[in-house]
Amino acid sequence: MAESMKAVRQFKFGGPEVLVYGEAPKPELKAGEILVRVHAVGLNPPDWYLREGFEALPPEWRPEGDFPITLGTDVSGVVDKIADDVEEFAIGDEVYSMVRFPEGMFGDSRAYAEFVSVPAIQAAKKPFGIDHAHAGAVPMSLLTAWQFLIAEGHDVPNPIQSFPHVPVPLEGKTVLVNGAAGGVGHFAMQIAKWKGARVIAVASGEHESFLRDLGADEFIDYTKTPPEDFVRDVDLVVDTIGGPTTSRFLRVIKAGGALFPIFGLGASGGEEAGQRDITISTTQVRSSGAQLAEIGRLLDNGTIRVAIDSSFPLADARKAHERAAKGHIRGKIILTVA
Ligand SMILES: NC(=O)c1ccc[n+]([C@@H]2O[C@H](COP(=O)([O-])OP(=O)(O)OC[C@H]3O[C@@H](n4cnc5c(N)ncnc54)[C@H](OP(=O)(O)O)[C@@H]3O)[C@@H](O)[C@H]2O)c1
């Protein structure tokens, strides 16, 4: 009989109440994989999108598979076993990873569990300067900010637009980050600062001192002042809200500038952007151990800091999802595994 472990599973789509903590089979290792004993899990919007059955996505985008499913992409933990062909890691290594995203939503081993199998190529050594709780919070949000702002495209077609996403120069530029306090936003603004940009952070007023402490040069409380009525001559807008409302930022941007909607589906404004030589570009974050290794140096030396909004034991994943549903997230929600 297969060995078992504790995990959070769901047997149907629905609200946070469908998340059930209990026994599940321990993942078996395939070639090229490591088995990670999970210490911390970072939560991300795809977790609730999948929990609900991806209702917001067009039908052709909805992943298919069988129940039960386990959610979760982001982990930090300790290598417990390695497949015979894996040479980069050893048992006992502390690692972090965004596991099989976007390809592994159904069927494969996922993160809300005591153990997760991880393709070795998608893992990196945990930055030694931060603990598992902070490292588990990092992968999807920081890889997203990195792949939008720093990394040069992907080696696979961009599923969200017909042309590859290409980052723009940041040094000496003015960058507005909308949704700056959230998972992606708080990393995006720190990357922009690190690269020498002046940053305007847009968030609700309660996050002002948090964002100024992370380096925001200016702060706009969107609940009082719509940023699009107030700001002009920005080189780049990173809109972590994205979607159909993103085109309101075009009037904020200089001719020749760029708008990056992080949620790219339904992004609007192509015609106006074309007239003013503004690039609208988006992409889909992808697992990458190599990029996590590179980013790890910035986490080690404190260039990029990780904010924890709230932390819950694995068994309380449902409460973590209830927290997420209330919105106004500052940094990351995590689960800890004893
Ligand atoms: N393209 C990709 O591959 C990719 C990857 C990761 C995430 N995403 C998408 O990016 C989006 C953000 O993800 P996330 O993980 O950063 O989410 P998050 O952690 O929930 O952050 C969202 C932030 O937006 C703020 N906010 C909400 N309404 C706002 C508004 N009208 N104006 C300005 N700020 C507002 C919230 O706080 P306040 O309202 O209190 O300021 C919160 O801090 C999601 O839609 C996600 O699906 C896409």
- Express each pLDDT in 67-94 by its tens digit: 999 999 999 999 999 999 999 999 999 9
The answer, yes or no, to whether any atom of ligand 1 lies below 6 A from the CB of 214, is no
Ligand 1, atom 41: nearest CA belongs to which residue?
Answer: 203
Strands 94-98 vs 20-25: parallel, antiparallel or unpaired: unpaired
CA of 182 to the centre of ligand 1 (A): 5
The answer, yes or no, to whether any atom of ligand 1 lies below 6 A from the CB of 288, is no
Contact 137, 40 (CB under 8 A): yes
Distance from C-alpha of 257 to C-alpha of 237, rounded to nearest angstrom:
9
**Per-residue pLDDT band at 1 (split at 50, 70, 90):** low
Between helix 183-194 and helix 139-149 the angle, nearest 10°, is 50
DSSP code at position 69: B
- Pocket perturbation via mutation, ligand 1, pick of 204, 223, 321, 326 by most ligand atoms within 8 A of CB: 204
**Per-residue pLDDT band at 289 (split at 50, 70, 90):** very high
**269 pLDDT exceeds 90?**
no
- Pocket perturbation via mutation, ligand 1, pick of 55, 241, 286 by most ligand atoms within 8 A of CB: 241
**Per-residue pLDDT band at 153 (split at 50, 70, 90):** confident
CA of 183 to the centre of ligand 1 (A): 7
**Per-residue pLDDT band at 99 (split at 50, 70, 90):** very high
The per-residue pLDDT for 159 is 87
- Pocket perturbation via mutation, ligand 1, pick of 240, 260, 287 by most ligand atoms within 8 A of CB: 240
The per-residue pLDDT for 61 is 74
Q: How confident is the model over 111-137, as pLDDT tens digits? A: 999 999 999 999 999 999 999 999 999
The answer, yes or no, to whether any atom of ligand 1 lies below 6 A from the CB of 42, is no
Q: Which of 73, 115, 71 is nearest to 292 (CA)?
A: 73
Average of pLDDT values for 174-191?
A: 98
Q: How confident is the model over 193-216, as pLDDT tens digits? A: 999 999 999 999 999 999 999 999
The per-residue pLDDT for 58 is 78
Average of pLDDT values for 161-173?
A: 96
**Per-residue pLDDT band at 54 (split at 50, 70, 90):** confident
